[in-house]
Amino acid sequence: MYNPKIEKMPLEALRALQNERLSALVNRVYQTVRFYKKQFDQIGLHPADIRSVEDLHKIPFTKKSDLRANYPYQLFAKPMAEIRRIHASSGTTGKPTVVGYTQKDLDVFDEVVARSLYCAGARPGMKLHNAYGYGLFTGGLGMHGGATKLGMAVIPVSGGMTERQLTILQDFAPEVMCCTPSYAQTLSEEFAKRGIDTKDLAVKYAVLGAEPWTEAIRQQVEAGLQVDATNIYGLSEIIGPGVSQEDVEEKGTGSYIWEDHFFPEVVDKDTGLALPYGEEGVLVFTTLTKEAFPLLRYWTNDICSIYYDKNAKRTHIKMSPIKGRSDDMLIIRGVNLFHTQVEEVIHQIAFLSPNYRLIVEKKGAMDAVRVEVETSKEIDINNQDLINNLRQKIKDTIGLSMDIELKVPHSIPRSQGGKLSRILDKRGR
């Protein structure tokens, strides 16, 4: 373990630590962040009313719209003189969300990423091929700092320039790589196109995140790059990558949330009421140790479940893979749809690739979905049996009828280093 004292802390002791940190946090933000003082005062809530994590339900949610309404610095709890780094989201759907870090925040950031990398199989003395983007996005610098803290040598490749990525993976011999899962797919396919046997690469561990992915993607990446691939989860509003991490020896059983720093809840997306462990809903986080940009009950929009695994190495809670985002969920003829559900069905059928996308269109007054999915090389894209099989499995599993279009290999857009959208929504065009 990177930090066995914390990671194996008995649950009772962990709760006591969380309660202590939460009480201090609530008092501090009430005094320093006008937004939270106003929020508390409007409902007659006083910091003294929050004594433990059991009281969190009394606090209203903080949503992305609140961050944008307080753009850029109004939610900061520390003066600018104490801020050592500023990151921001892409802002593709409005003003970007801006987050700040004190030196202590950056130390915590390095700690949780180092913890995550160790969990993924990385060890001091190894080299990290860091193909996350550097800049306002938290991925590149976040992974860099954590790897350095762990004692790794970082190769700061950043995203894109795939030809250079392939060369460095061969020549610099990194043992660990990190990027988005869709870009790992791209790298795997590019090696195969060039006839390069990836068993000759030094890389053995792939730490993948920044977008939802499934077991189908894991299997393709692991077979193509001959690595152990694990999921890292994070979001800039909470800290960046390193909020949770899957253990390389416990793949498929969920990712540990480092809950000494980030307290999780899962709530009903419609009512906001807390859900029992194991039930699927919207993931909500309270940052227990952030100084510059603390958040109370931040509504992430990510859909998953959380649960304690009694057979696990660590005592910290686990989260399931992200199914999708509640704001990205498609509602098609009254049925809730996430693209990962279609991905799981595709995985069940031989001769189909995990490379796909959903095209959402209007057919008359009704919404319709067309699935574009690549076949393996030896399959005719007009194979009606394969089309009918996929259509029926989707209807049986998800409850929707969808049009199917088989595509030749390498015809669907690939990630060029960043996140990949699996949905093309044409309804508003």
Domain that holds residue 379: 330-425
Q: In terms of domains, do 229 and 141 share one? A: yes
Residue with tokens 């350095």: 148
Q: Is the pLDDT of residue 91 over 90?
A: no
Residue with tokens 């500023």: 86
* pLDDT per position as a tens digit, 103-139: 999 999 999 999 999 999 999 999 999 999 999 999 9
Q: In terms of domains, do 334 and 318 share one? A: no
Q: Is the pLDDT of residue 332 over 90?
A: no
Q: What is the pLDDT of residue 307?
A: 98
Crossing angle between the packed helical segments 215-225 and 339-347, to the nearest 10 degrees: 60
Q: In terms of domains, do 155 and 219 share one? A: yes
Q: In terms of domains, do 205 and 251 share one? A: yes
From 273, 300, 322, the end of a domain falls on 322
| Token duo for residue 245 | 């991490």
Q: Quote the mean pLDDT of the chain.
A: 93
* pLDDT per position as a tens digit, 21-39: 999 999 999 999 999 999 9
Q: In terms of domains, do 147 and 181 share one? A: yes
Q: In terms of domains, do 339 and 388 share one? A: yes
Q: Is the pLDDT of residue 65 over 90?
A: yes
Domain of 353, CATH number, reads 3.30.300.30
Q: Give the confidence band of 1 by pLDDT, cuts at 50, 70, 90.
A: low
Q: Is the pLDDT of residue 377 over 80?
A: no
From 322, 351, 373, the end of a domain falls on 322
From 266, 296, 322, the end of a domain falls on 322
Q: In terms of domains, do 240 and 357 share one? A: no
Q: Give the confidence band of 340 by pLDDT, cuts at 50, 70, 90.
A: confident
If one counts the domains in the chain, the total is: 2
Establish how many alpha carbons lie within 13 A of residue 333's alpha carbon, considering only the half-sphere containing its beta carbon: 16
Q: Give the confidence band of 92 by pLDDT, cuts at 50, 70, 90.
A: low
Q: What is the pLDDT of residue 362?
A: 82
Q: Is the pLDDT of residue 429 over 60?
A: no
Q: What is the pLDDT of residue 298?
A: 98
Q: What is the pLDDT of residue 28?
A: 98
Q: Rounded to 5 degrees, what are φ and ψ at 187?
A: -60, -40
Q: In terms of domains, do 24 and 141 share one? A: yes
What's the whole-number mean pLDDT along residues 58-85? 97
Q: Rounded to 5 degrees, what are φ and ψ at 142?
A: -65, -50
Q: Give the confidence band of 414 by pLDDT, cuts at 50, 70, 90.
A: confident
